[in-house]
Chain A
Amino acid sequence: MATETPHVSNPHLLRDIQKLGAFDVSACFSCGTCTSVCPLSDGTTVFPRKIITYAQLGLEEKILASPEPWLCYYCGECTDNCPRGADPAGFMMATRRWLTTKYDVTGISKRLYGSKLAEWIGIGLLVLLAGLLAFWYHGPIVTSTVALSTFAPIQLVELADWVVLGVLSVFLLVNVFRMYYYTVLRIPGKRIPFSAYVKNVLILPITFFTQYKFASCKKDPKKHWFSHLSRYLGYAMLFVLAVFLLSEWQTDTYYPLWSPIMLLQYAAAGLLIYGLSGPLYGRLKKTENQYKYSHSTDWMFLLLLLATALTGVAVVTFKYTYLPWAAYITYAFHLMLVTALLVLEVPFAKWSHMAYRTFAPYFAKLQALRGTPLAGGSKSG
């Protein structure tokens, strides 16, 4: 079963991580200021310095075995206090990108993060595929009224929903399992009793639904946490609408503007767009530490999400203003964008963090039960 993690050094590790973010962690002289000022680092979870040291030493296996990068919510306190200007927070972000490429079994993630061209080709292919499907399989075009369900046959959309959901879940869960393998299973030490898995399982829904740790970040904690929570809630509501309530949501019938399903839809779109405005503005103006450096995948994620939300809003607007052609064409674009967004981002790119961040505290707990501190044996002198 579990064996001692090999101490093999990868001399290119720091360079590999550095490709995924702008920071100068080679300047780090390991003073520990970052760990000491971090509002989330405590006695059991030790970062960022430990992870930086691993990267400097090329200890790839140690970083793979660390759930810590996912426990960091990027408040930038460490970067503000770093006496070397090494930008530890930026390093942690780049490490998360690197880990995403490592958890992914297909290698798609590595390509997406590795080159913008691959990213564009991926998006292009998916958009094209969805566009062609919409073109081939769309139903009769009714122009007397806006009949979305007739245009896009509800059974087909529903089927596509569940297929995409199933396939993506499989990919994502495989990645999460790999994360579990690296962070828990492969760590040598005591056997973890099954009861521990059950006892700690509540961490998962609590983290998933509240992201409460995010709120402990020191600087403007509530602001960023709330912005993040709104885009997450907005998305979650749309997910429920699109997957479980599709037959109610996407119909040919015209609901009164204040019916519950319409209200739910307004709230979801409002929350999502509000939640996206913060990071988009921040990244554009580079207002705060966490927005100073943007990887191309960050932009892609935010812009795809925004475009999807806006086309969705447009479809509804066109429907209720009785503009059938505009509604159908926008709807086709909406489907194309949503396909690209879900298929690429959920299992392979930025969106996968919803799984990794949720599981990280759970795995960290389990890892601690192994009783083998990762940093063990590093005491010098």
Chain B
Amino acid sequence: MVEAVTVAPKTAEHYDVLVVGAGIAGMEASLTLGDMGMKVLLVEKSPTIGGRLLLLSKVFPTLDCASCISGTKTSGTSHHPNVTMMTYSEVSEIRRNDKDGSFSLRYVEKPRYIDTALCTGCGECEKACPIILPKETEYGLRGRKAIYIPFDTAVPKKAVLDLDNCIFCGACERVCPADSIDFLQAPREHEAEVGAVILATGFEPFPIEKKESYHYGQFPNVVTSLQMDRLTGPTRPFNSILRPSDGKEPSNIAYALCAGSRDKTVGNLRCSQVCCMYSMKQAQLILGTLPAADVTLYYMDIRAYGKGFEEFYQQTKAMGVKFVRGRVAQVEEEKNGDLTVYHEDTEGPGGKGKSTHDLLVLSVGLLPMRGIEKVFKNATLELDEMGWVKLRDETRSPSETSIDGVFSAGTASGPKDVPDSIAEAASAAAQAVGYVLSWREKTGAAVGIPLPKSMPVPMPQAVEVAAK
């Protein structure tokens, strides 16, 4: 692609595929592409890769350890010779070049105020810093400092300085043995040319404080399922399940399913697809930690649709978890911090039901991670009515978006569980390779770096067939 090289500034980087987002789908897509010999630029906006999965305890329905699943992917991604990983960076602009189907993009590397080449991740700065803030990766259940390593298994294991909360006391700078702290760093803009784009931007949990009748954020013993996942995880805070208001070990835990899903009053009509299963997973894990606890799930429909899911549901019931069909409508707080939930037992005689629990977990739904549609400058990335990336044809060509050469992986296009996200990431990777190679065939030019001769898959035949 001679033209593009001359048009682009001399500093432009060249890759075969851009992957936006380094959660499980982004990592999977990058690894698959890298294994096929494609040069990948992986851009992640947070300081570490791994995404949401890394923060979960176990995955359903196998109860495999989540960090063990994602741990191999994070280290694989960070060490892959074909994957260039840019953390704490955001894509600001993508333009499609209609002549050769490639994309020109800009992305900004946000300042960590740390020289990552020098930082060894020793954590001395964290100890010295006097500022304590709620830790995002523990959903506020633990604290962090203004300079911090996001979590123990962070990749890359480098500190990041939260300048908004820094008081510039200089304590970290004085103790850093590698002399890696640099208060003068500024955002750096990069330009790149890529052959295809994969969007693995993921989801954000529903901000459940919007559902006022649940009083999340007002009643301390109303927690989200993400917090509960931390409390049931192997690296959990407090090393037990304790309720926030008084540190009591809860013995009667309620789950409100569909919190922020299937609810017109909060503007999210969709089923979030994973809440039934992760709630049951947590119920099982709770019974592992607190065998004498009562766990009640208030649900509307149990959607155990995947392989092994129904068995998992039956197992959860058999373990003694109580299922009540009725949506939690209102929550009230008792003097001792217990919570009274109002609901109707719609399978029983009906009528207003009232039950008191000492901990209420809100099984929050998933919302699209917005913003990526704005970076496309000369093409429109279509979104569906809820704001998820719209697929061109969900049944026949999964992961194809409204823009040629832009593919979607994982929850960017809608709620998905882990195996589905991984499967779709691999599918997106395969389609991206097909796209890049078909354009290369058409233009007779190289996009990015040519494929190595040892490429494992005999791609050219496939492209020939596709070209006919």
Contact = CB atoms under 8 A, between A and B. Distances in A.
A257 interface: no
B344 A36 contact: yes
A31 B349 contact: no
B300 interface: yes
B347 to A, nearest CB: 5
Interface in B275-312: 300-301
B346 A31 contact: yes
Given A31-B346, A32-B344, A41 B330 contact: no
Interface in A290-333: none
B329 A41 contact: no
Given A37-B330, A379-B347, A80 B352 contact: no
B315 interface: no
Given A29-B300, A83-B264, A83-B265, A36 B349 contact: no
Interface in A24-65: 29-33, 35-38, 41-46, 49-50
Contacts of A43: 351-352
Given A49-B344, A83-B264, A37 B329 contact: yes
A216 interface: no
Interface string A73-89: 00000001111110000
A124 interface: no
B328 to A, nearest CB: 8
A73 to B, nearest CB: 16
A31 B327 contact: yes
Contacts of B343: 32, 36
Contact of B300 (A31, A36, A42, A381): A31
Q: How large is the interface on A (under 10, 10 to 19, 20 to 34, 35 or more residues)?
A: 20 to 34
A45 B349 CA distance: 11
A36 B347 CA distance: 14
Given A36-B328, A42-B351, A43-B351, 5 more contacts: A32-B329, A33-B329, A36-B327, A36-B353, A82-B265
A38 B352 contact: yes
19 contacts: A29-B262, A29-B300, A29-B301, A30-B346, A31-B300, A32-B326, A32-B344, A32-B346, A33-B329, A33-B344, A36-B326, A36-B344, A46-B350, A50-B350, A81-B213, A82-B265, A83-B264, A83-B327, A379-B347
A31 B264 contact: no
Nearest to B354: A36
Contacts of B301: 29
B258, B301, B349: residue with the most chain A Cβ atoms closer than 10 Å: B349
Interface residues of B, number: 25
Most buried by B among A30, A44, A46: A30
Interface string A348-381: 0000000000000000000000000101100111
B342 interface: yes
Nearest to A32: B344
B350 A36 contact: no
B213 A83 contact: no
B263 A83 contact: yes
Contacts of B350: 32, 35, 46, 49-50, 375
B371 interface: no
Nearest to A376: B349
Contact of B351 (A41, A83, A380): A41
B348 interface: yes
Contacts of B349: 46, 373, 375-376, 379
Interface string B322-344: 00001111100000000000111
B330 A36 contact: yes
A101 to B, nearest CB: 26
A37 B351 contact: no
A217 to B, nearest CB: 15
A80 B265 contact: yes
A82 B300 CA distance: 13
A294 B329 CA distance: 28
Contact of B352 (A41, A83, A373, A379): A41
B351 to A, nearest CB: 4
B296 to A, nearest CB: 15
Contacts of A30: 300, 346
A153 B347 CA distance: 65
Nearest to A35: B344
- Counting chain A CB atoms within 10 Å of each CB, the highest count among B330, B347, B352 belongs to B352
A43 B265 CA distance: 26
A347 B69 CA distance: 72
Contact of A84 (B264, B326, B329, B344): B264
Nearest to B341: A36
A379 B348 contact: yes
Nearest to B344: A32
Contacts of A81: 213, 265, 329
Q: Among the interface residues B264, B301, B348, B353, which one has the most CB atoms of the partner chain A within 10 A?
A: B264
B279 to A, nearest CB: 16
B342 A37 contact: yes
Interface in B349-364: 349-353
A35 B346 CA distance: 10
B265 A380 contact: no
A36 B329 contact: yes
A367 to B, nearest CB: 14
A43 B348 CA distance: 12
A32 B355 CA distance: 15
Contacts of B344: 31-33, 35-36, 49
A82 B264 contact: yes
A113 to B, nearest CB: 29
A33 B350 CA distance: 11
Contacts of A50: 350
Nearest to B263: A83
A217 B330 CA distance: 16
Given A31-B300, A31-B346, A81-B213, A42 B263 contact: no
A260 B251 CA distance: 68
Contacts of A80: 265
Contacts of A375: 349-350
Nearest to A31: B327
A205 to B, nearest CB: 28
Contacts of A35: 344, 350-352
Contacts of B329: 32-33, 36-37, 81
Contacts of B342: 36-37
